[in-house]
Amino acid sequence: MKLISKESKTKFILKGFFEENKPKNKNILISLNSITEYVEKNEAFICLGSKKSYNLNILKDAINKIVKLNTRNFQIDAKTFVGNNINLENVVNKFIDIDEYINGENLYSAKTSKKPEKIYLELIVNDKEVISKANITLKIAHLVNEARRLQATPPNICNSEWLAKEIQTMFKDIKNPNLKVKVLNKKEIEKEKMGLFLSVNKGSAYEARLVVVEYNGNPKSKEKIALIGKGITFDSGGYNLKPSQHIQGMKYDMSGAAICAAAMKGIVELNGKVNVCAILPLTDNKISSKAQTPDSIWTSMSGKTVEVNNTDAEGRLILADAITYSIKKFNPTQIIDVATLTGAIIISLGTTFTGAWSTCDLAYERLLKAANKQDELIWRMPFHEDFLKNIKASNFADYKNTDLSGKGGSISAAMFLKEFTENKKYIHLDIAGTGGDGENPRGTMVKTLIQFALDSKE
């Protein structure tokens, strides 16, 4: 997507119109989303329906159609899409968002056929304020694609060691004295006594890695946000092996880590006046003679002990230790984890809403405001002690990692994690349904997390 301030007469121009003020052409199509092209005049028009019923969804449908159909090198006259309660900023943001999502560069591809020549949409905007905001939108859209590139990379390439390096590389060109990035190797993770994290790594051919990013953008503020991202580069289930229909797509189980890394980069690049750290535990969950078996009992970094009654509930194991690490090293005021944690959340909220838990109403409001602003869907889920009963019912350890009752599996997973948060303000985001849309990685919540951090009031 390119922003231009003036149209060039030699290129096709596309304008939106409402039924009430249709261009004076006899043979123009007046049905929602239909495009009429006047080739000899280098002009095209898309019908946006009636002025009264115009809304964000109609705008999004129109943009999707234009972006997918763009074989013409359209220049788009942004102001002609303004109407009802949709202003120029909304129009420009949505065009950027959708075009970058569909045509964005650097998405993973191993196709050997030659790529079709890239066609850039050009958007005509001549409002300075809107343009400067649009540049932020463009930056954030690129970061969503950075997360999506990592998500899409196949697991025979994207193992824990590769992913740690890749995330480190993402930050390497940023010269900001308030930014620190380090990667802990297996020995260093052992030194921190992260027994739960290490238990998942036992069956792996690759070493576990813990990526730690710290950014202090506001030394005067006491607020410190810790972003914790689940980084399972492939989830086979371990000895509780996943059946064929559920194992495919498990390369996406590192989405939380990719998303937190991209959000973190956005916060730094946009010079957020806020203190944020990202803790990203990376490993696969595989089987070998060394892999952990069900019934194993481990001591977590916090000292609490956990009986593993299902090796496929591995996300909460690595996250629990990452949460403890964040508390011990950074003493955050707000913990937020992002994880493809449970299949159960797909039963509850489909692939439409991210499940969101919050121990604090005010923090949830801030999150919802950020999500609304960035046009991402979240739905609040409950923390409740009932869902801790089976988790606490181990005869041999402080906890079991899994409630096998089959009731509210996303909530018991959230309750397990909350046990490690030491009463810090805590938000848990389960993106198992929204992180990837079938074949398509979505980079869900990158935009919302950046917005949440930038909205810091302290």
Strands (E), 225-274: 225-229, 231-235
Q: In terms of Cα–Cα distance, which of 394, 206, 417, 184 is closest to 300?
A: 417
Position 312 contacts ligand BES (CB under 6 A): yes
State the minimum distance, in angstroms, from the CB of residue 429 to ligand BES.
Answer: 13
- x/- contact string, 65-104, with ligand BES (CB under 6 A)? ----------------------------------------
Give the chain's count of helices (H) and strands (E): 13, 20
Residue (313 or 445) nearer to ligand BES, CB: 313
State the minimum distance, in angstroms, from the CB of residue 349 to ligand BES.
Answer: 12
Q: List Cα–Cα distances, 305 to 41, 48, 321, 388, in angstroms.
A: 73, 60, 11, 15
State the minimum distance, in angstroms, from the CB of residue 237 to ligand BES.
Answer: 6
* Nearest-angstrom CA–CA distance, 103 and 348: 31
* Nearest-angstrom CA–CA distance, 151 and 148: 5
Position 253 contacts ligand BES (CB under 6 A): yes
Partner that binds at residue 62, options Zn ion, ligand BES, none, CB closer than 5 to 8 Å by kind: none
Residue (240 or 275) nearer to ligand BES, CB: 240
* Nearest-angstrom CA–CA distance, 315 and 434: 16
Tokens of 112: 């050997």
Residue (265 or 316) nearer to Zn ion, CB: 316
Position 315 contacts Zn ion (CB under 5 A): yes
Using CB under 6 A, which of the segments 15-23, 295-303, 310-318, 320-328 binds ligand BES?
A: 310-318
Residue nearest to ligand BES (CB): 343
State the minimum distance, in angstroms, from the CB of residue 394 to ligand BES.
Answer: 15
Position 432 contacts ligand BES (CB under 6 A): yes
Residue 33's H or E segment, with its range, is: none
State the minimum distance, in angstroms, from the CB of residue 341 to Zn ion.
Answer: 7
Strands (E), 104-223: 122-124, 179-184, 209-216
* Nearest-angstrom CA–CA distance, 156 and 398: 36
* Nearest-angstrom CA–CA distance, 127 and 412: 50
Kindly tell me which residue out of 235, 307, 376, 430 binds Zn ion, with binding defined by CB under 5 A.
235
Position 343 contacts ligand BES (CB under 6 A): yes
Kindly report the number of other CB atoms within 10 A of residue 349's CB atom. 21
State the minimum distance, in angstroms, from the CB of residue 232 to Zn ion.
Answer: 5
DSSP secondary structure of 130-158: HHHHHHHHHHHHHHHHHHHHHHHS-TTT-
Kindly tell me which residue out of 90, 305, 310, 394 binds ligand BES, with binding defined by CB under 6 A.
310
Q: Is 111 exposed, middle or buried (0-12, 13-18, 19+ CB in 10 A)?
A: exposed
Residue (122 or 284) nearer to Zn ion, CB: 284
Position 235 contacts ligand BES (CB under 6 A): yes
* Nearest-angstrom CA–CA distance, 418 and 424: 9
Kindly tell me which residue out of 99, 166, 214, 253 binds Zn ion, with binding defined by CB under 5 A.
253
- Using an 8 Å Cβ cutoff, are 106 and 145 in contact? yes
**Residues near 80 by Cβ (< 8 Å), separated by ≥ 6?**
15, 16, 17
Kindly tell me which residue out of 122, 161, 284, 314 binds ligand BES, with binding defined by CB under 6 A.
314
Q: Is 177 exposed, middle or buried (0-12, 13-18, 19+ CB in 10 A)?
A: exposed
- Count, residues near Zn ion per rule CB under 5 A: 6
Tokens of 37: 């092209």
Position 266 contacts ligand BES (CB under 6 A): no
State the minimum distance, in angstroms, from the CB of residue 403 to ligand BES.
Answer: 7
- Using an 8 Å Cβ cutoff, are 29 and 35 in contact? yes
Catalytic residues: 242, 316
Position 319 contacts ligand BES (CB under 6 A): no
Partner that binds at residue 310, options ligand BES, Zn ion, none, CB closer than 5 to 8 Å by kind: ligand BES
Position 146 contacts ligand BES (CB under 6 A): no
| Footprint of Zn ion (CB under 5 A) | 232, 235, 253, 312, 314-315
The residues binding ligand BES (CB under 6 A) are: 235, 253, 310, 312-315, 340-344, 402, 409, 432
